[in-house]
Amino acid sequence: MFKVSPSVNALGGGTIYLSCLLRYILVILVFKTFIEIIHVKEKATSFDIAYQAGVSQSTVSRALRNSPLVNEETRLKVQAIAKELNYKVDKNASNLRSQHCDTIALLLFEDPTNDDSAINPFFLSMLGSITRACAHKGYDLLVSFQQASNDWHADFEDSNKADGLILLGYGDYVDFEEKLIKLSEQGTHFVRWGAEVKNLSTVSIGCDNFLGGKEITEHVIKQGRKNFAFLGSASSHAPEFFDRYKGHCQALNDNNLVVNSDMQFNALYTEEAGYEAACELIKSGGKFDAICAACDLIAIGAMRALQEYNISIPEQVVVVGFDDIAIASFTFPPLTTVKQDTQLAGELLVNTLLESINGKETSTTLIAPELVIRKSCGC
């Protein structure tokens, strides 16, 4: 029988023990590494918090920043879930969100139109000038409809899709004003095309609508016309139209002509609205030899109604518009109107927004109108 000495046996036993110990430590290390990998894979995200809290991801972001835009109950709920999930804010991602993305969002109001564009023809020429102005400044332009989003700040600026917003069109201004107030409260960088509203501290770029309405009416008066009708809204629901009507009335007063409120017929933005308003005017039996329309589309609709009633333009009735859209020069007869400088407007909208984004002081700007004389006024 082979006999192992005690020293050799001890050494062999120590070797076996050390080998087992190393294997055990290796298993522990592998298991720990596995657990850490699983932990990394299951690291909580803002999506997880949003899901558990039943809110949007942008609300989670605001709540974790203690934003006053989130009510206290929701903020505490989100923060409690974040703590429970051991959520840590990714500082790098946060810093990226705070940087500019060099994109401007242009939000158009979806208007009823005769084609499928859903864009007011007046804004099409402005769209071109805004695009050129953005390219000149090294910015991309993201175009969308206003109705596609319920929270413009969250969907564009807060999500880092855009550094700021340009708003074109609005439908009913009374409803639109609530959205402007919300944007201001949220600290959104935005500028809009439209009339200056005295009770609202938002920056706008627009035409001097009062002056334009006054000058076009004065021009028609010089053609010997004395009995005027105005087609277009004259209320706070359409501030641009209201200012044009006020200028129209001022011109009548300055020339000792009667301002008859019964000769103002409501119409909003479309050719069909102008047609219906003109038909109502004709059926009213009121005496008129001139129609001042609040925009070219209304004027074009009115011309169609007059022609259907065999009323000649401009021999019997003069018709003038406002905007100088592309089709205005192709009507029969060609439409006299007020031009708004869309090239300058696009540049001002972009430059003003970029100044706001860069922390500079901005203010409302009114662009001077320009009369465009064609044959519909008898000239």
Q: Tens digits of per-residue pLDDT, 297-350?
A: 999 999 999 999 999 999 999 999 999 999 999 999 999 999 999 999 999 999
Q: What one-character-per-residue DSSP string does 97-141 give?
A: HHS--SEEEEEE-----SSS--S-HHHHHHHHHHHHHHHHTT-EE
Average pLDDT over residues 28-46: 53
Crossing angle of helices 72-84 and 46-53, rounded to 10°? 130
Average per-residue pLDDT in the chain? 85
H, E, C per residue of 130-150: HHHHHHHCCCEEEEEEHHHCC
pLDDT of amino acid 29: 54
Confidence class for position 158, pLDDT limits 50, 70, 90: confident
Between 82 and 299, the higher pLDDT residue: 299
Distance CA 206, CA 170 (A): 14
| Per-residue pLDDT at 28 exceeds 80 | no
Fold of 209-339+371-377: Rossmann fold (3.40.50)
Buried b (16+ CB within 10 A) or exposed e, 35-72: eeeeeeeeeeebebbbebbebbbbbbbbbbeeeebbee
SS3 at position 230: strand
Contact 249, 259 (CB under 8 A): yes
Residue whose tokens read 């242009």: 106
Residue linked to tokens 């903020």: 75
Q: How far apart are CA 146 and CA 109, in angstroms?
A: 5
Calpha distance 300→320 (Å, rounded): 9
CA–CA distance, 14 with 54 (Å, rounded to integer): 60
Amino acid at 155: D
Q: Closest by alpha carbon to 242, among 281, 276, 198, 283? A: 198
- Report the predicted TM-score, pTM, of the whole model to 2 decimal places: 0.74
Task: State the CATH architecture for 100-207+343-369.
Answer: 3-Layer(aba) Sandwich (3.40)
User: Which residues sit opposite 212 in a β-bridge?
Assistant: none
CATH topology of domain 40-99: 434 Repressor (Amino-terminal Domain) (1.10.260)
- Conformation bin of residue 119: beta by default, left when phi > 0, alpha when psi is -120 to 50: beta
Domain residue ranges of the chain, discontinuous segments joined by +: 40-99, 100-207+343-369, 209-339+371-377
Q: Identical fold at 40-99 and 100-207+343-369?
A: no
Q: What are phi and psi of 30, to 5 degrees?
A: -65, -45
- What element of type H or E holds 190? strand 190-193
Burial of 6 (0-12, 13-18, 19+ CB in 10 A): exposed
365-367 vs 103-108, strand pairing mode:
unpaired
**Preceding amide of 333 cis, omega within 30:** yes
Q: Is the pLDDT of residue 61 over 80?
A: no
Q: What is the pLDDT of residue 8?
A: 38
- Of residues 268 and 209, more confidence is placed in 209
Backbone angles phi, psi at 265, to 5 degrees: -120, 125
The token duo for 128 is 């071109």
- For 306-355, the three-class secondary structure string (H helix, E strand, C coil) is HHHCCCCCCCCCEEECCECCHHHHHCCCCCEEEECCHHHHHHHHHHHHHH
Over residues 171-189, mean pLDDT: 88
Tell me the percentage of the chain whose pLDDT exceeds 70: 84
Task: Tell me the β-bridge partners of 371.
Answer: 338
